[in-house]
Amino acid sequence: MAVEWAGSGPEVLLTIDRDSGTGLRAQLENQLRDAICGGRLAGGERLPSSRELARALGLSRGLVQDCYAQLQAEGYLTSRPGSATRVAAVARPAGPPRVPALAPARPAIADFRHGVPDLRLAPREDWAWAVREVCRTAPNTAFGYGDPAGDRRVREVIAAYLRRVRAIAATDAHVVVCTGMAQALGLVLRALAAEGVGTLAVEDPGGIRSTTDQATAAGLAVVPVPVDEDGLDVAALDRTGARAVLVTPAHQWPTGVVLAGHRRRELIAWARERDGILIEDDYDAEFRYDRAPVGSLQGLDPGRVVSLGTVSKSLAPALRLGWLVAPERLVPVLAREKLVADRGSPGLDQLALALLVESGRYDRHLRRVRAVYAARRRTLVAALAAHAPGLRVTGLAAGFHAIVHLPPGSDEEQVIERARERGVGLYGVAPMHSAPGPRPPRLVLGFGDTPDHAIEPGIAAVADLLRG
């Protein structure tokens, strides 16, 4: 996209010393020449107009014009009638050629990477509309430093939305707006550490490695707790001695298990007996297909559960917007941690999100993308049934990934490596366990960012590897 300057040109840092023995024009020429040769002014970069530069430096316009003409004659600058003066493209600093960094190539046929939504579905027009409306109608105070916990109206909108679609028991007083899930978890862990919590239990398999980094930074130890077909094993949790646990009850990452009703009740009982806290990552709650949505764990005991949410999957990761819903006693310390971290999430973006929700555009977008992912899910299931019949496929009740159970004796790592050689990206469950060891070989097949047309050819290309 071509960029046009709105004014007379950009500013550039140049200084004139009238007490030195060097002439004014020579000073200007030398500084511009040095800036170009040193790389401070790159090839093609626009310079201020002679009028603007003369005004800024207190020089005559004719002197600046003579300077530009001299550097143009030397090949440093270029200019055409009616066009701005620019640094010549050939005027580059001396030195070894720069080698561009190469991003790892995506597999040629299909990439079943997980955890990424279809970025082509990001609601650009709706977001642009919301930002435009906010800039047009927001009061002047919205452009200042706001409440580090988030704009109050935004928190009211988020709380109302979560009460409506997730059965969360909360008001704006329980909500802190964050820049995504990672920050929300970090704030909670630091707040718990300040209360004397020393150990965090996490699901195994799960996002153990990234969570461990966050917990270590907050001063907490991490212990893994196994997950079975009903979700987190609460009896095993009790044996760890931990007072806090991070769970994904709506759609466990990565197995896709929905936390069973009896396990939910056991978790709440554990938290009450241990004076503990449940940290609920409301992962994939927006995308359910085969059954009615499961309500938030927080609704069972608002005083014992902190619920974390984000728009990274529903809208786009680049927006960096999320929230946490916490017991009211924790909110002041969470707000202080947020203040220290970044003084508050971007205020205008918060208001834009609130406007999307209030206008119904957020719900409309979710309905649209849910239909896309549901169709893509059907394509994946059909492709597996056609090319690798008999394989057990689980975890498909929600979200946009599936678990494929490879035949016993399969080498998970070898299947992934050989698939990559064929141009197909596959990913295993083994790295998501707390420690290496013999486990059933399984793959995580993401279909969120895998185009519809690539799913069937991708499965066909590796069908023999999947069958074992």
Give per-residue pLDDT as tens, 23-77. Answer: 889 999 999 999 888 888 888 889 998 899 889 899 999 999 999 999 999 899 9
Task: List phi, psi (to 5°) of 101.
Answer: -70, 135
Helix axes 61-73, 50-57, angle to 10 degrees: 120
Q: Quick count: other Cβ atoms within 10 Å of Cβ 346?
A: 15
What pLDDT does 101 receive? 53
Task: Give the pLDDT confidence of 333-368 residue by residue, as tens digits.
Answer: 999 999 999 999 999 999 999 999 999 999 999 999
**According to the model, what pLDDT value does residue 310 have?**
95
How much of the chain exceeds pLDDT 70, in percent?
A: 94
pLDDT of residue 103: 54
CA atoms within 13 A on the CB side of 104: 6
**What domains lie within the chain, and their CATH numbers?**
24-87 (1.10.10.10), 110-116+364-467 (3.90.1150.10), 122-360 (3.40.640.10)
Q: Which residue is associated with the tokens 């950009």?
A: 10
In angstroms, the CA 247 to CA 130 distance is 33
pLDDT at 38 (0 to 100): 86
Which single residue is written with the structure tokens 């709506």?
A: 250
133: helix, strand or coil: helix
The closest alpha carbon to 90, from 32, 37, 13, belongs to: 37
Is the pLDDT score of 415 beyond 70? Answer: yes
Looking at residue 97, what is its pLDDT?
55
The per-residue pLDDT of the chain, averaged, comes to 91
Is residue 407 pLDDT above 90, yes or no?
Answer: yes
Query: Residue 110's pLDDT band (boundaries 50, 70, 90)?
Result: very high
pLDDT tens digits, one per residue of 262-299: 999 999 999 999 999 999 998 877 888 766 678 899 99
Q: Are 341 and 334 in contact (CB under 8 A)?
A: no
- Peptide bond before residue 254 is cis, with ω within 30 degrees of 0: yes
Report the pLDDT value the prediction gives residue 176, as an integer from 0 to 100.
Answer: 98
pLDDT at 195 over 60: yes
Of 190, 196, 250, 200, the closest CA to residue 223 belongs to: 200
Structure tokens at 456: 């069937």
pLDDT band at 96 (very low <50, low <70, confident <90, very high): low
Q: Quick check: 9 pLDDT over 70?
A: no
Whether the Cβ atoms of residue 429 and residue 443 lie closer than 8 Å to each other: yes
Mean pLDDT value of segment 393-421: 94
Q: How many CB atoms sit inside 10 A of residue 92's CB?
A: 15
Residues 156-178 pLDDT 10s:
999 999 999 999 999 999 999 99
pLDDT at 151: 96
pTM of the model: 0.86
CA 38 to each of CA 34, 44, 53, 309, 351: distance values in angstroms, whole numbers, following the listed order: 6, 15, 21, 47, 43
